[in-house]
Amino acid sequence: MSEKLIDGVAIGKEIRSEIKKNVSALIEKGCTPGLAVILVGDNPASRTYVKNKQKSSAEVGIKSELIELPMTVSQQTLLDHIIQLNNDTSIHGILVQLPLPKQIDENIIIQSIDPEKDVDGFHPINVGKMIIGQDSFLSCTPYGIIKLLERTGTEMSGKHAVIVGRSNIVGKPMGQLLLQRDATVTYCHSKTKNLSTLTKQADILIVAIGRANYITDEHVKEGAVVIDVGMNRDANGKLCGDVDFSKAIEKASAITPVPGGVGPMTITMLLKNTLHSAKKYYAQGSCK
C-alpha cells in the first residue's frame, strides 16, 4: 500500500476495537447500548447502508433494532415510531435512514428525534451545540474525517482547509470542526468561481460534492492532504470518489481512497456516538 494512502479501513478497525472494549465494560455493569434504525421503503443503497450499520453494531456488541416501514408510510406513523423509541429506555441511539419518500418532511422527522438519542448529529440542537463548541453528537462523516486527520498526525492548527461542498451533513459541519481545531476554513460550492484557484491554496482539501472524479491534479497543491468523501459510480459502474485518485495522488502528501477511506469511518463514528449516549444514560442511572 502506498505510504500516501490514508487507510480508513485500518483506522476504523482500530477505533472499533476500542469501542468494543468500552461496550463490554458497560454491558458488565448492566447497560447494553441499543441502536434503533428506521428504514423506509426499498432503496437498495439505503438497505445496504442499514445492513452494514447493523453488522458493525453487532461486531462491537451494540444491540441494534431494525424497524422497516413501507414506502407509502404516513408521516404520522413514522413519527409514532420515533416517539416510541424516544421513550424506550433500552434504546440510546435513533437513526432514520435518509432519503425519505416525498410525503414525509425530513426536517420534521429529524426534529422529532430526542436530541439525546440523535446519534447522526442532525438535530438542530446538536448542530447548534456543535457550532458553539458544547458537548453534542457530531455528524458521523465529518467526525470520522477529524479522526482520520488526528490518527494520521495531520496538523490542523493554522492550516488552510478548503471544503468543496456545503451540505448540512458533510460540508458545513466539517468546516466548523476544523475551525474548532484552529484551521482557516474556506467553503466552496456549485456557485464558486475559479474553484481550482481556491482548492490549490488548500493544505487540507476535503471534497464532498457527489461528482465522479471531478477534482484532478489541477485542483491540488503539492503536498496537500486530500480527503475524498464522494461515493459515486463511474461510467463502468465502479465505485469511485469525487477526486480523480490516480491524478491527485501525484501531488498529495496523503489521500483517502474510495472505497476504504471515509466510508468505514462514518459507520465507526455512529457506533462511537451510540456508545457515548449509552454511557451518558448509564451515568444518569437510566440505562437498562
Known catalytic residue at 105: no
Q: How far is the CB of 171 from ligand NDP (least distance, A)?
A: 6
The nearer residue to ligand NDP, 116 or 118, going by C-beta atoms, is 118
The nearer residue to ligand NDP, 185 or 208, going by C-beta atoms, is 208
Known catalytic residue at 120: yes
Q: Tell me the CA end-to-end span of the chain in Å, nearest whole number.
A: 44
Which residues sit at the interface with ligand NDP, rule CB under 6 A? 141, 164-167, 169-171, 188-192, 195, 208-211, 229-232, 262-263, 266
The nearer residue to ligand NDP, 5 or 169, going by C-beta atoms, is 169
Q: How far is the CB of 70 from ligand NDP (least distance, A)?
A: 25
The nearer residue to ligand NDP, 99 or 133, going by C-beta atoms, is 99
Q: Give me 140's grid cell.
A: 458521523
* Listed residue (122, 100, 101) closest to 113, CA to CA: 122
Annotated catalytic residue, options 7, 63, 117, 120: 120
Known catalytic residue at 103: no
Annotated catalytic residue, options 7, 63, 97, 251: 97
Report the distance separating Cα 142 and Cα 127, nearest Å: 12
The nearer residue to ligand NDP, 57 or 279, going by C-beta atoms, is 57
Q: How far is the CB of 195 from ligand NDP (least distance, A)?
A: 6
Q: How far is the CB of 257 from ligand NDP (least distance, A)?
A: 11
The nearer residue to ligand NDP, 116 or 120, going by C-beta atoms, is 120
What is the DSSP secondary-structure string of the chain? --TTB--HHHHHHHHHHHHHHHHHHHHHTT---EEEEEEES--HHHHHHHHHHHHHHHHHT-EEEEEEE-TT--HHHHHHHHHHHHT-TT--EEEEPSP--TTS-HHHHHHHS-GGG-TT--SHHHHHHHHTT-S-PPPHHHHHHHHHHHHTT---TT-EEEEE---TTTHHHHHHHHHHTT-EEEEE-TT-SSHHHHHTT-SEEEE-S--TT-B-GGG--TT-EEEE---EE-TTS-EE-SB-HHHHHHH-SEE--SSSSHHHHHHHHHHHHHHHHHHHHHHTT---
Annotated catalytic residue, options 7, 53, 118, 159: 53
> What type of residue is 259?
P
Report the distance separating Cα 46 and Cα 203, nearest Å: 34
Distance of CA 203 to the CA centre of its chain: 22
| Residues recognised as catalytic | 53, 97, 120
